[in-house]
Structure 1
C-alpha cells in the first residue's frame, strides 16, 4: 500500500467515489476495471484502494446486501455520513458529485474502455467540452445511475443498445422536484416504452409486473399489440441497485396510467 492509499479520503474524493458507485454496475466495482484504474490515477490512489472504497460503499446499500451480495465491511464514518447525505438530497448530491468528477477528469485523457456508458457519454477528456449547468449535470447523473443499475438493458424488453435507452422518470419530472434525480424514481426503458410509460399506456403494478392500457384506438392496432400488449403481466427485470420505489410506482398507476384516469 502506498502512502497515498493511507491518507484519509477528502470530501471531494468521496464525492467522486460515491458518484462512480452510483454510475457503475455492481459487477464492475473491481480494480481491473479500466474505469476504476483511470479514476484511481486521477485521484492519486491505487486501483485497489478505489475498488475497496467502492465495495465499502456497497456494504451500505440495502439493495445490494439484502440480495446476499456483500461489499467489504470497512465503511468509515465519513462514508456513512455521505450515504445519508446522498439519500436525503439527491438533487444536491448529483450536482456535487458530477462537478467533482468533472473537476478531476477535464484535463485527463479519455478512458481506454467505457463500455458501461452510452456512446454519447464516453468522452472524459477536456477537449471542447462546454460548461455544464447544474441541471445538465444532474440529468447526466440520473441517466447514468439508472441505466447502469439495469446493466444498460430495457427492463421490459431486454433491449441492450444504449443509444436507444432512456432513463425514464416514474413520477414525472414536473410533479416532484425533490425526486427528479433520485435513481429509485427511474426505470431503464427503450425509447418507445419510455414514451408509452410517460403517456400512461403502460405502468408497473405492485408485483413489479407490466400493465398495459386498453384504452383508446391503440388497443386494436397490430403494432400496439406486438410492442406493448405482449408484455402484459410480465415482470420487469430488476436492477442491481436503486430498485424502483413502490410509492413512486403507485403514483404513476394513479396519476399517469390511462386506465386509472
Structure 2
C-alpha cells in the first residue's frame, strides 16, 4: 500500500492561493486548474480537490451563503488558514511567488488561473509606459485580479461581458487609502473597463441589494446612446455573481457610495 503523503505548510499556502481563485463548485478532481497543480505537486487531483473542500469548512464567507465544506480540516490546515488571512499583504505575494516557482515562471512571464482551461502562462507586455512597482505589489495585484475575476465567473458583474482582456478587478475601497483590504476578494468587483472607470470616479455605485445606481452626472447625459446602452439599460439591476461566489462586503459598498459616489 502506498504511503500517505502529509501536506506541508508551503504546499498549503499554494493551495490556499488557488482556493481563492476558484468557486466552491469548481473544487473537484476534474477541474483543469486542480489537475495542473496536482501534477506540479506530485499529488493526485483527488487529493488536491479534497484539501480544497476541507479548507472550505474554515471559510466564514461561504458559511454566510449557507455553503459548507467537508469537516476534515487538519490542525495544520487551521493554522495555515489563520496565518494566511491574518496579513494578506504579506502572505498573498509569498503564495503567488511560490505558485510561480512551481510552474517555473521567469520574470518576463505572467500566470493566469482560468477555471475552464487550467493554468495559462503568457509573456508580459513590457515597454516604457509600464508602471514601476515592487515584486511584492505586482504579485499581490496578479493574485487579486485572478481571484476577483474568477469569483465573478469571468464576466463583468453589470453587463456579463466575458472578454477577459476587457475586464478589471476593481477595488471597492481604494488601494491607496485602505491598505488592509487591498488583497481582500470581498473588496473586489469584476467590471468592464468602462464600468470600472465609472465606478472609480463615482459615476456609478451599488445599493445594499447590489443594484446599480447612476450618478446625477450620468443621468444628465441621457438620452445619449452610449450612456443609455452602457449604463441606463442596467440601472436598478443587481450585480450578477455565481451562486457559490464570495459576495462583495456591503460595508465596503456603502462606504464607496458615501465617500466616492456623486449623486448630488
Please tell me whether the aligned partners of residues 106 and 124 of structure 1 are also in contact (alpha carbons under 8 angstroms): no
Q: Secondary structure of the equivalent of 2:170?
A: strand
Deviation at 1:118, TM superposition (A): 9.6
Higher mean alpha-carbon deviation, 217-226 vs 143-152, is at: 217-226
CA contact (8 A) 1:147 1:153 kept: yes
Matches within 5 A, 1:169-248: 169-215=171-217, 217-239=220-242, 240-248=244-252
The ranges of structure 1 where at least 4 consecutive aligned residues each deviate by more than 4 angstroms after the TM superposition are none
TM-score, normalisation: structure 1? 0.86
Q: CA deviation at 1:66?
A: 3.8
Corresponding position of 1:20: 18
Instruction: Say whether the 8 Å CA contact 1:146–1:188 is kept in structure 2.
Output: yes
- State the 1:88 CA deviation: 2.4
- For structure 2, the 5+ residue unaligned runs are 107-111, 124-133
The number of aligned residues is: 248
**Which of 255, 260, 263 is the aligned partner of 1:251?**
255
1:133 aligns with 2:132: no
Which residue of structure 1 lines up, in the alignment, with residue 164 of structure 2? 162
Once residues 229 and 149 of structure 2 are traced to their aligned partners in structure 1, the CA distance between those partners, rounded to angstroms, is 24
Pick aligned residue for 1:70 from 58, 68, 71: 68
Residues 207 and 182 (structure 1 numbering): CA distance in 2 closer, same or farther, change over 3 Å? same
**Counterpart in 1 of 2:129?**
none
Give how far 1:245 is off: 1.0
Shift of 1:36: 1.3
Aligned to 2:115: 116
Which residue pairs with 1:128 in the alignment? none
Contact 1:91 1:182 in 2 (8 A): no
Secondary structure of 1:211 counterpart: strand
Unaligned runs of 5+ residues in structure 1 are 126-131
Given the alignment, which residue of 35, 57, 60 partners 1:59?
Answer: 57
User: Using a 3 Å threshold, how does the CA distance of structure 1 residues 66 and 254 change in structure 2: closer, same or farther?
Assistant: closer
Structure whose residues are more often helix by fraction: 1
Shift in Å at residue 220 of structure 1? 4.7
Distance 1:48 1:124, change over 3 A: farther
Calculate the aligned-residue CA RMSD, in Å.
2.7
> When the two structures are superposed, what TM-score results if normalisation uses the length of structure 2?
0.85
Deviation, 1:86, is 2.8
Cα distance in 2 for partners of 1:81, 1:9 equals: 13
> What's 1:146 paired with?
148
Q: Does the 8 A contact of 2:158 with 2:234 survive in 1?
A: yes
Contact kept, 8 Å, 2:32 with 2:115, in 1: the verdict is no
